[in-house]
Amino acid sequence: MTNVHGESFDLPTPDGTADAYLAHPDDGAPHPGVLLYMDAFGLRPALEAMARRLAGHGYTVLVPNVFYRSGRTPLVELPEHINPAERPEIFATLMPIMQSFTPDMAVRDAGAYLDWLAASPLVADGPVGTAGYCMGGALAVRTAAAYPDRIAAAAAFHTGRLVTDTEDSPHRLLDRVTAELYFGHADQDQSMTAEQIAVLERTLDEVGARFRSELYEGAHHGYTQTDTAAYNAEAAERHWQALLDLLGRTL
């Protein structure tokens, strides 16, 4: 693992300014870029630590606050250990913010994030990878579909609602994706049932995608997030191996 530098900064977008976090090897050299998408709890120390860990493997990692239109992070006061069952007001605050964040906004923002990475001297030329957690996984898929020539790898971990009845459901966009894809499903996740996983995998097969879709047994929605009640150390380490393998193959 190399020494890593991490910093917060402001990133301009067509709709305003996103507060963001950047982690990269401390050598001043360009490294492959990774766009890391947050879960609903947002940009916080635990997510910054994940970005630094990934950067330690030789990547320049950008983590934007995707809810910047609603304010800078933290948008809601978070305890050191997040257990939504004990703190229902957290999701009560976040839910309207999540619902106001449309796929069109997400795709427009992704273009700004990718432009920023492409212009940065800390990022190597060529396509980048993207990975997302919980709702961030759907953002990773949407980004790979909207910018197929710019995304070489996309990973989604404990991501719900990849298969919905809506016309713009993430699984309906898969025919536009050229990136290699990885899905790490939590088997204790009501937002991504066995039936929905089957539809996702069938769609991936139909469009000829390069993908791996794996079930993490005994894991709950949020298993990678060290500061939440859902954290599962064994599943989280498995996710790191899968993510590093994917990025190593593609970037």
Residues with catalytic annotation?
Answer: 134, 189, 221
Which candidate, 71, 110, 63, 113, places its Cα nearest to that of 94?
71
Query: Residue 70 — pLDDT band, cuts 50, 70, 90?
Result: very high
Mean per-residue pLDDT, 113-141: 98
Can you give the pTM of this predicted structure?
Answer: 0.96
Q: Is the pLDDT of residue 118 over 90?
A: yes
Query: Residue 95 — pLDDT band, cuts 50, 70, 90?
Result: confident
Q: Is the pLDDT of residue 50 over 90?
A: yes
| Tens-digit pLDDT profile for residues 165-197 | 999 999 999 999 999 999 999 999 999 999 999
Can you list the domains of the chain with their CATH numbers? 4-250 (3.40.50.1820)
Mean pLDDT value across the chain: 95
Distance between CA atoms of residues 232 and 55, nearest Å: 22
For 107, the token pair is 């795709």
The answer to whether 107 and 139 are in contact (CB under 8 A) is: no
Report CA-CA distances (Å) from 18 to 75, 94, 181.
Answer: 13, 17, 26
